[in-house]
Structure 1
Amino acid sequence: MSKIVGIDLGTTHSAIAVVEAGMPGILADAEGRRLLPSVVHFPANGEPVVGVAAKRIQTVEPERTVVSAKRFMGRSENSLVKGEAASPVEVSALILKELRAQAEAALGESVDRAVITVPAYFNDAQRQATKLAGEQAGWKVERIINEPTAAALACGLQGLPEGDQVAVYDLGGGTFDLSILELREGVFQVLATHGNTALGGDDVDAAIAEWLETKVEGELDATGKARIREAAEQAKIALSSSDEYRIQLPFLKPDFSLEVNFSRADLESLARPILEQTKTHCRQALTDAGMKSTDLSQVILVGGQTRMPLVRRLVAEWFECAEYEEVRGDVRLGDSFHSADGPVLNTGVNPDEAVALGASIQGAILSGEMTSTLLLDVTPLSLGVETFGGLMNVIIPRNSTIPAKAGEMFTNAVDGQRAMLVHVLQGERERAADNWSLGRFELEFESAPRGGARVGVQFEIDADGILQVLARDTTTGREKIVPIQSAVDVSDDRVQEMVEESVEHAFEDMDARRWVEAALKADEAVKAARDGLEAFRDELDNAQIIDEAIAAVEGLLQSADNDQGDLPALKAAVARLDQVTLPLADLIMDRAMEAMLRKQGVLD
């Protein structure tokens, strides 16, 4: 059986690793390069070019070169290059195919089993797309795991004391995740995760490039813009280890060459607004985990962008990381002064390679080469279904440990209903329309009076974080099992803002839910009262009073606007209706009891 390798399919660079003799290691290409640029060029004639060669061609033919395809995973773009089979999945498959060839050349044997990593905040469509890309490249994808989870394995966190909690700050080329993990009885559990699937080093490069373009008079063609973007990335990398860098682009235009000094201070002024966007996600993850930054033992930096000194300073500041200062000339007794006031900032792991190394460790665990250190990921957003009244009923809450399975029983809302629409949702809002629709399907069942049908709906998320929905009619046993596919195009920013929106609209959403639930109960009360009046009006002394109470409830329901109405007045009107229909309820009960006794022969 072949080895199971680990793959970090990155936005700007990708890497592949394997465990040999108990040690994880990166598999370099024939030239010794450990990272593969995630770039694919589609020439007008010939086969696609992947990696370093594609990146070189990018400045000459940028319109036929795809970069950062990972940012488009899970969307419905047909092609990222006009006239070519270059969907995000197909581009990613070419990168994964190149990594496979690289691994087989390095190992001297066939390799077709892999663990592939994704950002923790990738939604179901993006995970499905990643798995499909792996399969198209000839891989048997054994597991999809979160990048921060893989980084935790690479750092050897299984050696931490029981109950230790760490944060993994993962800022790559195009995505950002902050995950909080805890070690419990040898098991890593992700307590919370938060992030942005469209934020990373690419945005810093774009900001530098935009600044450089202001130094150029007139418009630049596509080649000129590509050269500036390449120079921006080179300057950013250089300024991680130096204070100043001279950017030189001869003949950027036929009559113009660009030469400009670019300092670390210039870089940090451009990068700071972008990096500050990660602060909100850090705070939200801590809030979700019910923790303070001082509860953490360490903060691990992962992703090439974390090499930037500004990133390290900001993260240390946000998490109140301990700073040690050497004080000479004093003798101090005891050990209290050695204790850190906050978490340690862990920069010891190679930020570009940690994720691939961790994925290879997971692969070795799956193949039995290494003893298992279990990692339990969590769902980044709640999953549920739409219920009558347009509300979302949560089946699997946000931050539930996966694999996960949960279900609930539902019934029909109207008489004679013969099918139930199962509308699968993802999000944190109370109203279905405010959440992300993952898919819909219908389950047919035997016609039944209102409340007579019983349909069980079960959600199951596998270890890859991929959702499967089952709906079963408990009367007939008829069922449907639907794997949720990446057929829905939803923008990444909608996903990343979902939690913030739920907080912002929390009171408004809860008011809407209370109104909808009260309105449904009011509708039931009105229907029951009308049915009773139709059957027994002539036997009641207060039929007119009941009519007036019904009219009062209906008036309040009709005056509601966008799930908002006078809730106290509605509750009072329904309570009044309940009170005046007590004689009617007693009469209905008496008639039902009388009919039952006659059927049993007790009464003539």
Structure 2
Amino acid sequence: MGIRVGIDLGTTYSAVARIDPETGRAVIIPNKYGHAVTPSVVAVTEDGEELFGEDAKERQELGEPGTASFFKRVMGDPGFRLDLSGRPCTPVDLSAMLLKGLVGQAEMMSGEHVDAAVVTVPAYFRNAEREATLVAARQAGITVLGLLNEPTAAAFAYGLGGSNEGRTILVYDLGGGTFDVTLARVDAGEIRILGSDGDHYLGGKDWDDDVATWIADRFEDEFGEDPLDDAEQDDIIGVTAEKTKKRLTNATSAPVSVAWHGHRGRYTLTRREFDELTSYRLMRTADIIDRLFASFTPARRWSDVDGVILVGGSTRMPQVHEYVERMTGKPPLAGVNVDEAVALGAAIRANQDASGNATPPTIGGAKARNRALPLIGGRKITDATSHALGMIAESEDRERYVNDILIAKNAAIPARNTQRRELAVPRRGGELDVYLLQGSEPAPLDNDVAGLYAFTGIPYVDGGRTLIDVTYRYDADGVIKVSATQVETGRKLHMERRSIPDDMSWLERSPKENDRQAPPAGAVYLAIDFSGSMCGEPFRQAMDACRDFIASIDVAALNVGLIGFADRTKTYLEPTDDDGAIRQGIRDLAAGFDAEELSFGNDASPFPDVLAGGLDRYDGPKYAIVLTDGVWYDQDTAIRQARQCNEAGIDTIGLGFGGANETFIDAISSMKDLAQLTDLRHLGDSFSNIARVIGGSTGLVPGSSGTAISHPGR
């Protein structure tokens, strides 16, 4: 039996921990150099050999090519590539290389096989970064028990030092590349995360960069050349800046020496200068803490915090300690090693169940004693969402797009919420796109568009409108799952993850504007019977019903054409979204009836005109609605022609009244649930029902919160 470990996959340094089989305590597995932490640096030599940790860091310090660091900052970026000695690498590839090295080293140093691991991530990592971390771990051959937020892991480690129950603690986690802040309640047997915030582009490296810029400015002032223009020298100065920052942790000043292009610059940076130089970085962390406090109802204050845990090597900077003491009136909590806490907490989580009990009961791998051990620091954990989850939706007045939130920020996880929507579906089946948003801002583009989930093959149901339950799940890893189920059939809809379009500028316009700008999705022909029995009130009612139908649909999404038929046929209007042309087409059709242009018989069928009427240029739904009040001369031919329309992707709907034959109306209709024999009194209702079904077939129809969209502008 092997061991389960916790891996702190850090931006600048990483660590691996296990449970000591003798004591039940989490302990760090040192690296091959005897150090608790390992540099998060990888390299590929010219011979293709992979290096990691201190071996790769040494190459970087010497300015050797083929090294990579700080790649955690670009996790989840699909466009990032880095060439290492001719090998193109993604952030996932680089992280997998590091993870593989860390686990192999841990196995060598512990003498145990690593069965599985919990891997930590910044609390403020979004879905793309979390998914990329899981892929990297699996690519490294690691069985992943789960992801754990770094501040949550540190809260586990906080419990190692003794009794500290019933306290509200703030975890200030400033690593090499990311900053997280978490408010947690530590009670007897439970750690409850109240909320988190952060910035995964803020970390100790940014303090290093400020020092590097300070060094380069001094060198340029003295010698007239900027050493940061040279890529290799940039790496060397970066390492020098990091060492200078670390010296200032214990010293009030640090010497700096830079040699480049035959020049050597020697400078001294004092701690006071360093603090002034980087004060805006520290204030950025303060602003994020204020934002976290403000996210609660009622808002939290520093006076609500019983103690602060510092995590991450960058919290060794005196300016951080001074800030905490200034805000709380007391020093940070002791007993937590800032470099080791996250890995130790992850090891505890890897060896406990959801209730905080040790699992398996005997822990410690091959060297474990055959008895159950208490797991020191084990607690039940209730984590919280770091970001709200929503979807792009239309406001009720269709004047703007909004963020329709399904799961709120700081909700306990795992979290789940389902919203029911009504969707119009054409007979050929429907499709729904859900744009996932992470963030609480009302405007969609002020949030992270985290994913596009396409649900395809939605079955047609009677009436052409279906109910869809859209479900968001936020699992214990903080990874998001989106699913949808058709209510009438109970069918779970097929989902495809699609790339988010590069151009999202349509969100800057209103849905109404997009309707006008978007290409038409589909078209409908209204075919009106001109036979003699339509004279008088029947024709007038038919015209009123047509006008009401046209007024109740979005003609930009469903263009309208007009056909008259009796002994002959005539297309009075090819499909268009021009309101003026449609009104004129109605007048022309009425004038044609009055002028007996098509005679008053029933020899002709409108379906050949429908087939030849230009519907093949439309990608969306296509319809022909046929209104008739009598018996046609050649019904068999008309039925055959209607089926030819259906085979061409044109849905047909027959509406009959007066002397029309119900069996014939049904036979020429592909949408039989909408076809019917009615009377003049209910003709308008029949048209309205058809408009409700086919006129809204392009998106989700809202509940109270707005219209969630499937295809923008349709």
Question: Which residue is 1:145 aligned to?
Answer: 148
Question: Which residue is 1:321 aligned to?
Answer: 328
For the residues of structure 2 that align with 1:314 and 1:180, how far apart are their CA atoms?
A: 17
Question: Which residue is 1:34 aligned to?
Answer: 36
* Aligned-pair CA distance for 1:100: 0.8
* Contact 2:486 2:493 survives alignment (8 Å): no
Question: Which residue is 1:18 aligned to?
Answer: 18
CA spacing shift, 1:169–1:126, aligned 2, 3 Å? same
Question: Which residue is 2:343 aligned to?
Answer: 356
Question: Which residue is 1:279 aligned to?
Answer: 286
Name the amino acid aligned to 2:442. Answer: E
TM-score (norm 1): 0.74
For the residues of structure 1 that align with 2:316 and 2:416, how far apart are their CA atoms?
A: 39
- Structure with greater helix percent: 1
* Aligned-pair CA distance for 1:117: 0.3
Alpha-carbon deviations, 1:275-324, whole Å to 9, x = none?
2111111011111233111011111111111100011112333xx2124x
Question: Which residue is 1:288 aligned to?
Answer: 295
TM-score (norm 2): 0.63
Q: Which moved more, 1:34-43 or 1:450-459?
A: 450-459
CA spacing shift, 1:417–1:182, aligned 2, 3 Å? farther
Corresponding residue to 1:201 among 201, 204, 207: 204
* Contact 1:386 1:423 survives alignment (8 Å): yes
Question: Are 2:180 and 1:189 aligned?
Answer: no
CA spacing shift, 1:382–1:413, aligned 2, 3 Å? farther
Question: Are 2:431 and 1:420 aligned?
Answer: yes
* Aligned-pair CA distance for 1:460: 1.8
1:501-580 maps to which residues of 2 (within 5 A)?
A: none
Question: Which residue is 1:455 aligned to?
Answer: 468
For the residues of structure 2 that align with 1:176 and 1:275, how far apart are their CA atoms?
A: 11
1:346-495 maps to which residues of 2 (within 5 A)?
A: 346-366=333-353, 367-368=359-360, 369=363, 370=374, 372-387=378-393, 389=398, 390-413=401-424, 418-427=429-438, 428-435=440-447, 436-448=449-461, 452-480=465-493, 482=495
The SS at the match of 1:235 is: helix
The SS at the match of 2:198 is: strand
Structure 2: 5+ residue runs without aligned partners?
Answer: 354-358, 364-373, 503-507, 514-536, 556-677, 686-714
* Aligned-pair CA distance for 1:434: 4.5
Name the amino acid aligned to 1:146. Answer: N
The aligned length equals: 499
For the residues of structure 2 that align with 1:483 and 1:101, how far apart are their CA atoms?
A: 36
CA spacing shift, 1:391–1:19, aligned 2, 3 Å? same
For the residues of structure 2 that align with 1:300 and 1:204, how far apart are their CA atoms?
A: 21
1:199-348 maps to which residues of 2 (within 5 A)?
A: 199-216=202-219, 217=223, 218-220=225-227, 221-249=230-258, 252-289=259-296, 290-317=299-326, 320-323=327-330, 345-348=332-335
For the residues of structure 1 that align with 2:496 and 2:351, how far apart are their CA atoms?
A: 28
For the residues of structure 1 that align with 2:113 and 2:420, how far apart are their CA atoms?
A: 48
Across the aligned residues of Structure 1 and Structure 2, the Cα RMSD in angstroms comes to 3.8
* Aligned-pair CA distance for 1:449: 7.5
The SS at the match of 2:232 is: helix
Alpha-carbon deviations, 1:337-387, whole Å to 9, x = none?
xxxxxxx62243111111011111111214345555122222222223334
Alpha-carbon deviations, 1:60-87, whole Å to 9, x = none?
3454210111001111145222631421
Name the amino acid aligned to 1:356. Answer: A
Alpha-carbon deviations, 1:243-262, whole Å to 9, x = none?
1111234xx12421121111
* Contact 1:384 1:392 survives alignment (8 Å): yes
CA spacing shift, 1:161–1:255, aligned 2, 3 Å? closer
Name the amino acid aligned to 1:441. Answer: A
* Contact 1:412 1:450 survives alignment (8 Å): no
* Contact 2:425 2:465 survives alignment (8 Å): no
The SS at the match of 1:58 is: helix
The SS at the match of 1:384 is: strand
The SS at the match of 2:345 is: helix
* Aligned-pair CA distance for 1:477: 3.3
CA spacing shift, 1:381–1:210, aligned 2, 3 Å? same
Question: Which residue is 1:530 aligned to?
Answer: none
* Contact 2:17 2:343 survives alignment (8 Å): yes
Question: Are 2:128 and 1:125 aligned?
Answer: yes
Structure 1: 5+ residue runs without aligned partners?
Answer: 324-343, 491-508, 517-534, 555-587, 596-604
Between the two structures, name the one with larger relative contact order (CA 8 Å, sep ≥ 6). Answer: 1
For the residues of structure 1 that align with 2:64 and 2:195, how far apart are their CA atoms?
A: 39
* Contact 1:443 1:479 survives alignment (8 Å): no
For the residues of structure 2 that align with 1:153 and 1:430, how far apart are their CA atoms?
A: 35
For the residues of structure 2 that align with 1:183 and 1:29, how far apart are their CA atoms?
A: 32
For the residues of structure 1 that align with 2:251 and 2:50, how far apart are their CA atoms?
A: 37
1:62-73 maps to which residues of 2 (within 5 A)?
A: 62-73=64-75
The SS at the match of 1:385 is: strand
The SS at the match of 1:46 is: coil
* Contact 1:63 1:81 survives alignment (8 Å): no
The SS at the match of 1:240 is: helix
Name the amino acid aligned to 2:441. Answer: R
Question: Which residue is 2:164 aligned to?
Answer: 160
